[in-house]
Amino acid sequence: MLRFCVRRDDLGHVWRPTARGWSAGRSHVTPLRHPSLEEVACGGRGRFFLSIRERCAGAPKSELPEANAPEAPWGRALAAALAWPLQSMTVVVRAGNDGGRPGTLDVHAGPWGTGSLYAVAKGGELHADWDPSRLYPLLGGDCLDPLRAAAYLAWSDAPYSRRTLLRDLWLFTVGSRGTWPMGDDPAQPLRVTYPPPVRLPRVGRVAPGGDVPDAFWRTLGASMRRWVGPGGAADGDLAAYEVSGGLDSSLVAACAATLTGRPPRTYGLTMPGAQRAGQRLRRAELIDRFGAVDTTRELTADPLLAPGGARARARGVVPWEECYHESVGALFATAAADGVRSLFTGFGGDELCAPHPQDLRAPHHRDLCAPRPHDLRAPHPHDDPPVRENTTGAGNTTGAGNTTEAENTTEAENGRAATSTPPTPVPQHLSRTAQQLLHDTLTDQVSAFDLAPPGHVAESALESVTSGSALYLRHGIWPIHPLCTPELARLCRRLPGKWRSGRTVQRDLLTGLGLRTIGRPDGTDDFSPAMVTALRGPARPLLTDLFGAPLLADTGLVDPRVLLSRYLTWADGGPGHEMEFYSAAILELTLRSVEASGQGHTS
């Protein structure tokens, strides 16, 4: 949502507006100017704040005090900015005083995760950007966090944390607060503080005669009005809908069409091979029902790690971003050329109906050393991972209270307790050092990976929202995720297991809307064959070169000879999994991107 460079020596200077943002001395804050966003700024005696945020339909106008106003009205204006109901990012600068108190800069991250901000503190300066690759020139050659890099190589997982797998690159996670500088200690010039954990409600009972699909529909509609209503981030003709033809994105597009009374503009990637027919039927059903104006692009038209592409040339590669970067980026470019400036997604829909601890036969704990189902294969470019079925069928609602009661779970019930479950096998090319790093986390993975505390929205949904933001914004598109709202997450959290199992509530709702082919499909889309084809075909020369002399060898996390040998065997049809080699290739390209950025190459 913004980028800035602030020097310690400028914290006491007066901030003044410029053509691009605000500046003080040699420091600057540059908000992202976008039709879906707005900004408010307020100066004062030795203090200044700038808040950039999503436009929200029906929100009151901000009342800002005059310049150099006293502390009380300035503080009220800041409090109002921090309470904004949609996503925001707020920078607060306070000058020091003659008594020796140093000046400080605080960053307050909003509650949604869209337009995430990354930061690097270096040499008396704090740099931040919504595009992490723009901060690469500030990183050194030894930039990988060994533990997080090992986890990424093993399971393609970048746990949601203020610490990224690039050692000095920080992420302002949802609801966090960053403070800089932290005294004169060069070891920790920036501190990012997490918000308190959210205590989530227990499963409830459906009231007699209650209509669960209707409650879901009304809650989704109320959430979406903030964006599609007058003055909202998606008000007007600049919004479109990213539709895969699956449950989640179709629900969002259908709800928007109902609220606005306009045929939705939809964009999506089409599947190759035998999956194409089923996907085409589902898209056709949405088009026929709501008059959608549909634009598609072949998934295979822009192969993963295509020769000559930006990622293949090691330009700005970010490891946690979209696997199908080339094809999704081309789709976004098409939408942007059509004038689209905001895209609704179905991110978070699968997590809404994920199993709860009380649904399972044994207590459920998050195990970072055990790959989740959607981590074992390439993620979808859109929004509909495979359904995670309730393992107890109809679901166990023992202990559930009345739906009007606000019972709470503990952190352990939220799946964030430490676990001693043994790790699953890791790729054979990981070194003993990497394997030991992962094994040493077993006693307390929450602390080892410094995981963000649980919130209303599931961690994996926040990972998707955060990791995808920069790719949208590079194409001038603001992403909107209506299935990641706290109110919808809380509603689904309280549903009895029979409504969550198999995602019954969404399927019944879609069927009731006349979208039975979408709600009850014959199969699900699988994008992994496209990755296999690319890594064994067009990308093979690239990976052979990368693994022949990898910078990763210098980290001590992989055995380069084993990596190359295993890849060539797999590329010829032998054993292995495509994500093992994709992860190694992307991490290698990340290191080369950081190296190239120091030579003036960033894109």
pLDDT digits 0-9 by tens, 555-598: 999 999 999 999 999 999 999 999 999 999 999 999 999 999 87
**DSSP character for 379?**
P
pLDDT, mean over the chain: 85
C-alpha distances in Å from residue 520, one per residue of 390, 455, 506: 17, 31, 10
List, for residues 357-371, the tens digit of each pLDDT value: 655 543 333 333 333
Q: Same structural domain for residues 278 and 264?
A: yes
Q: Same structural domain for residues 145 and 161?
A: yes
Q: What is the pLDDT of residue 341?
A: 96
- DSSP string of 464-480, one letter each residue: HHHHHHHHHHHTT-EEE
419: in domain = no
Which whole number is the average pLDDT over 93-104? 73
d(CA 198, CA 188): 27
Q: Where are the alpha helices (DSSP H) in 122-266?
A: 146-155, 212-228, 247-260
199: in domain = no
Which whole number is the average pLDDT over 538-560? 95
* Residue with the larger pLDDT of the pair 139 and 419: 139
- Whether 142 has a pLDDT exceeding 70, the answer reads yes
Residue 134's pLDDT band, with cuts at 50, 70 and 90, is very high
3-state SS assignment for residue 529 = helix
- Whether 329 has a pLDDT exceeding 70, the answer reads yes
CATH of the domain at 83: 3.60.20
Q: What is the pLDDT of residue 97?
A: 66
d(CA 241, CA 331): 12
Q: Same structural domain for residues 161 and 254?
A: no
- Whether 519 has a pLDDT exceeding 50, the answer reads yes
3-state SS assignment for residue 3 = strand
- Whether 374 has a pLDDT exceeding 50, the answer reads no
d(CA 299, CA 322): 13
d(CA 42, CA 92): 10
Closest CA to 212 of 8, 492, 14, 479: 492
- Whether 66 has a pLDDT exceeding 80, the answer reads no
Which whole number is the average pLDDT over 133-155? 94
Q: Where are the alpha helices (DSSP H) in 43-180?
A: 71-82, 146-155
CATH of the domain at 398: 3.40.50.620
List, for residues 418-464, the tens digit of each pLDDT value: 333 445 678 999 999 999 999 988 888 889 999 999 998 999 999 99
Q: What is the pLDDT of residue 135?
A: 97
List, for residues 1-18, the tens digit of each pLDDT value: 999 999 998 988 889 999
**DSSP character for 121?**
E
H/E segment holding residue 460: helix 459-474
Q: Same structural domain for residues 480 and 357?
A: yes
Which whole number is the average pLDDT over 346-350? 92
Q: Same structural domain for residues 560 and 471?
A: no
- Domain limits for position 97: 2-193
d(CA 475, CA 329): 8
C-alpha distances in Å from residue 279, one per residue of 120, 271, 302, 330, 523: 43, 7, 19, 20, 9
What pTM does this model have? 0.87
484: in domain = yes
List, for residues 178-214, the tens digit of each pLDDT value: 999 876 665 668 999 999 999 888 888 999 989 999 9
The residue assigned the tokens 């539709």 is 243
d(CA 36, CA 162): 26
Q: How are beta strands 2-7 and 27-31 bridged, if at all?
A: antiparallel
415: in domain = no
* Residue with the larger pLDDT of the pair 345 and 201: 345
Residue 347's pLDDT band, with cuts at 50, 70 and 90, is very high
Q: Same structural domain for residues 223 and 255?
A: yes
- Whether 219 has a pLDDT exceeding 60, the answer reads yes
Tally of domains within the chain: 3
Q: What is the pLDDT of residue 375?
A: 31
Give the angle 391-395-400 at the CA atoms, nearest 5°: 140
169: in domain = yes
Residue 398's pLDDT band, with cuts at 50, 70 and 90, is very low
Which whole number is the average pLDDT over 389-416? 31
* Residue with the larger pLDDT of the pair 415 and 538: 538
Q: What is the pLDDT of residue 418?
A: 39
- Whether 373 has a pLDDT exceeding 50, the answer reads no
C-alpha distances in Å from residue 219, one per residue of 461, 467, 483: 18, 26, 10
Residues 276 and 523: beta-carbon distance below 8 Å: no
493: in domain = yes
H/E segment holding residue 432: helix 432-439
Q: Give the range among 55-69, 75-89, 323-337, 486-500 with minimum mean pLDDT.
A: 55-69
Which whole number is the average pLDDT over 60-65? 79
Q: Where a domain ends, among 141, 172, 193?
A: 193
d(CA 63, CA 73): 10
Closest CA to 116 of 126, 130, 127, 106: 130
Name, in order, each residue with C-beta under 8 angstroms of 266's C-beta and a sequence gap of 6 or more: 240, 241, 242, 243, 253, 283, 286, 287, 292, 293, 294, 295
Q: Same structural domain for residues 244 and 282?
A: yes
- Whether 393 has a pLDDT exceeding 60, the answer reads no
